[in-house]
Structure formats: C-alpha cells, structure tokens
Amino acid sequence: MAKNKKNTFTKILKTINGNIQLKLGLIFLAILLFIAFFGPVFAPYNPYRLNDDLLMAPCAKYPLGTDNLGHDILSQILYGASTSLKIGFIAAMISAIIGVTLGGIAGFYGGWIDQLLNEVMNIFLMLPDFFLILMIIATFGSSMMNVMIVIGMTSWVGNARLMRAQAKAIKERTFIQSSFSMGESKASILVHHVLPNGIFPIIANTTMNISGAILTEAGLSFLGLGDPNVISWGQIITAGKAYLPKCWWICTFPGLMTIFTVLTFFLLGEGINRVLSPKMDANK
C-alpha cells in the first residue's frame, strides 16, 4: 500500500516536472494563496485607516505608496487578494456546475432537449456578456455575492458546449451501452458514468475561467459597480485612475497583481489541458 502511494506521488511529480506551464502555474498559485491567507498578517497598516500622508510616492514608510485618502497601497493589495481570488473561484465553480449539468443533459438525452438547450446556449453566445452583467448588477445591486453569481451565470456556455460534445461521444461507448442493457436508468448513467468521464476538459476550462472572473470583477469595480464594502484590486485601480499619470503607483501595483493572477490561471489551465490531452504535446 505504501509502495503504491509512493509510486503515485512519484508519477505526479514527474508529470509536473515534465510540464513547464503546470509547474510555473502551481508555483505562482502557491504564492497567490500564501498572499491571500497570510497577507493580512504581514500587512504593515490597517487598509481602512485614513491618515494625513496623502498620495505619497513609494518610500520606506509606505513601500507601495498611498492613495488620495492616505490608505496604504501595500496593505490594500494584501487584503484584496483574498477578495479577488474568492470571486474568481466561486464564480468559476458556479459556471462549471451550470455548464456541466446543462451540457451533459443536452448531449446525453439528445432530441428536442438537446435542440432546446442548444438554442439557449446560442442566445447566451449572442448576448454581450459584460453589458448583460452591467445591467443585472445595476438592477439588483453590486454586493460581492451578486457579482459572483452574475459572473458565474453568464460564463457557463463554454463549459456547456464542451460537456455536450463529451456526452455525445461517451454515450456511444460500449460500457454505456452495456449499462443500458443491464437496465440502469438514463439519469443514473448520466450521473455515474457520463459526467465523471467527460469532466476532464471542463477542469482546464474552469481554471482559465477563474482569471476571466477576476478580470470581470476588476472591470466592474473600475466602472464603480463593485462592492464598496470590500477591498479588491479593481477598486484600488478605480481610486487611482483620477490621479494618473502623476500618481502612477496607485493603479500600477494592483494592476500588476491582476496580470500576475490572470497569467497564473492561464498557465494552470494550459498545463492541465496538456496533461489531460497528451496529443497536444505529441503534435508539437
């Protein structure tokens, strides 16, 4: 038993070392998670504290400077990491659950159900996502929960189309036909066989969706539609846009953190995709 665990661990390490995108993505993710969990411990100041050092350039006292209200930018970035990552993860999970469920049902059952759900997907594809999000947030409010739910409910189509294609292919396989012959219900086959076997491409796509959700939240905050009760990188950028280019540090550092986060999840998604689809490397 111990030997099998050791072999599995060795195989995982070999897979990670052999995939530069996945390796870098995991290293960057570890850095982000460390900042999100322990950032408040290392923050030099209370990010909500106001002081008289307004628009201070980076210096020994304020390594990343201050904004127009005297907030320490470094402390705000450290506190905002958990907000941005939370929004990204939860929105991507909502997108994955909706996409996997509807895509699996459409691909597995086929017929009028497939046609109906496919038309729904086409409607969502034709709608401009960001403007739809803007309208919903403006109508129902900009709380963090609303932002996460709306982003998740408008970004599920890619996962649904992937799952639909997977379900159509998997339902024709021999082990699925054998399950039908043994009298297993369609719902049971979908839940226990089709979805688990077709989920792998969704994992890679969902990882990339996390970065998309973080960018969307940053865009909403930049337009003044983010949750004003929490600190996020988008809100820090919003506070600094009125003082560009003179006070460049207010927007630059949270912007760099946003870019770093997007790059992290892109590398993770690309690395996972190459692990799950070895033919990608074989065709290079």
Q: What is the pLDDT of residues 151-184, one digit of tens each?
A: 888 888 889 998 998 888 888 888 888 888 887 8
Which residues make Cβ contacts (< 8 Å) with residue 45, sequence separation at least 6?
72, 75
- CATH number of the domain within which 122 lies: 1.10.3720.10
Number of separate domains in the chain? 1
User: Is 246 inside a domain boundary?
Assistant: yes
CB count in 10 Å sphere of residue 245:
6
Return the number of other C-beta atoms located less than 10 Å from residue 53's C-beta.
14
Q: Indicate whether 99 belongs to any domain.
A: yes
Query: Is 52 domain-assigned?
Result: no
258 assigned to some structural domain: yes
Distance CA 223, CA 142 (A): 11
The answer to whether residue 99 scores a pLDDT higher than 50 is: yes
pLDDT range class, residue 284, cuts 50, 70, 90? very low
Tokens representing 177?
Answer: 């036909």
pTM of the model: 0.83
Does residue 280 register a pLDDT over 70? Answer: no
